Amino acid sequence: MTAQETQSKPQAVAGTTEPVGHHPGDEHEIPSYESYGTFDSLKDRIKLHYNVASDYYYSLWGQHIHHGYWKQPNETKEEAQVNLINLLLELSALPKSSRVLDVGCGIGGTSRFLAKEHDCQVTGITISGKQVEIAQRLTLAEVDAAAVTAGDTTAAADDQGMIKYPSGNSSVRFVELDAEKMLEYFKQQQQQASSSFKCVWISEALSHFPNKPLFFSSAFELLEGGGSKSLLVIADWFKAKDLTPEQEQADIKPIEDGMLLPPLCTADQYVEMATKAGFKVLKGPMDISADVLRTWDISWSLVSSPSLWAFAISQGRDGLAFLQSFRAMRRGYANSTFRYCCIAFEKQ
C-alpha cells in the first residue's frame, strides 16, 4: 500500500486517547492533497475559511483559538489555553503596560488577556473581517461588564478603534489586515508612536504566512529601538528535522493541506530567519509538544457532531480536509514528526 493510499483511509492513531467507537470522521475519506496554486490563492482560501468557520471555532474552543498547555492532567482546555499565554509571558518577560502588536489575533482572546491581565495596549490584526467583528463584539461585552462592576460608563471605541478598559492603561483594538502588509500600514499611521511597539506577539499564525522572511523583517522594523529591548514572541507548529520523504507525505502533507499551510518549517529555520532580520534569541526554541498534544484529542471529540461534518462538506473539499487534518495532527504528534515550540527573540 502506498503512502497516498494509507492517507486516504482514516486510521486509528497509536499513542493517543481517541475514544473507541464510532466517529463521524470515520465515514469520510481524507481528501488527497490539493495544490494551492499561488500564494495569493492560498491567502484567499485562508480568509474564506476564517470568515466562514470563526463562529464554529468560538462555539467549540471558546475565545482562545490556540493549543492548550497542560501543567496538570485535571486542567480544563480553557485553563490550559491560558497556561500557554502565561508561558509565553514567562519566556519573554514582557513588561506590563507594553504596546503589543498581536499578529493573527483570531477573535481576540490573547489580545484581551494581555490588556486585562497585563495592562497592555494591544492592537490585534487578522486577515478575516469576520474575526474582527467577533473580536470587537466580545471585547465590548467584556469591557461593559467590567465597567458595570467598577461603576463606570459603558464601553465604546475611540476614533482609532481603541477600546479602553475601565482601570489602568489597558486597551485593545482590532484591524482587518494582511500581515504581509503590516509594515506599510503602521508606517502610514499619522503619529510615529502608533507604529512602534514594545512587542510583536504571534501565536499559531506564522505557519500560515507564505513569506516568512518578510514577517521577520517587518516585525523588526515595527519594534522600538534606541537601546530599549523589544520582543518578538512566537508559538507555532513545526515539522521535525530530517524527515524522510515518506514521513513528509504521510504525516506533514495532510496537515499542510487541511490547515491551509504553505510548507511547514522547522523551529531552527525560524531562528535562522529571525537572526538574518536582526533578532537575537532570548529563550528557546522550547519544545512543548508533549504538553500540548492533548489539544487534538479534545478537538477530535469536539467535532463528533454529524451536523458539523455535514456543514464542513457543504463548504467543499477544504472543509472536509480541515476536519480530517485533526486526525493528521494527532498522528504527527504521536509519530514525533509534528512539533510545537515557543521562542522569544529580542531587538536591542
- Reading the chain (348 residues) residue by residue, the pLDDT tens digits are 333 333 333 344 434 444 445 787 776 666 666 666 676 777 777 777 777 777 777 777 788 989 999 999 999 999 999 999 999 999 999 999 999 999 999 999 999 999 999 999 999 999 999 999 999 999 999 888 876 666 665 556 676 778 998 878 899 999 999 999 999 999 887 554 455 899 999 999 999 999 999 999 999 999 988 667 899 999 999 999 999 999 999 999 999 988 889 999 999 999 999 999 999 999 999 999 999 999 999 988 888 888 778 877 887 778 888 888 888 999 999 999 999 999 999 997
What angle do helix axes 129-150 and 109-118 make, rounded to 10 degrees?
Answer: 30
What angle do helix axes 109-118 and 77-92 make, rounded to 10 degrees?
Answer: 60
Contacts 24+ apart (CB under 8 A), 28-33: 28/309, 28/313, 28/320, 28/324, 30/254, 30/321, 30/324, 30/327, 30/328, 31/257, 31/317, 31/320, 31/321, 31/324, 32/4, 32/7, 32/8, 33/253, 33/254, 33/257
Whole-prediction pTM value? 0.87
The cell numbers describing 40, all together, are 495569493
Judge whether 7 lies within some domain: no
Among 331, 323, 304, which Cα is nearest to 22's? 304
Judge whether 11 lies within some domain: no
Judge whether 21 lies within some domain: no
Is residue 39 within a helix (H) or strand (E), and if so which, with residue range?
helix 39-61
Judge whether 201 lies within some domain: yes
Specify the number of domains making up the chain. 1
Burial of 79 (0-12, 13-18, 19+ CB in 10 A): middle
Judge whether 19 lies within some domain: no
Q: Which CATH number belongs to the domain containing residue 126 in this structure?
A: 3.40.50.150
Judge whether 3 lies within some domain: no
Pairing of strands 171-176, 199-203: unpaired
Judge whether 47 lies within some domain: yes
Q: Alpha carbon of 59 to those of 62, 212, 308: distances in Å?
A: 6, 31, 12
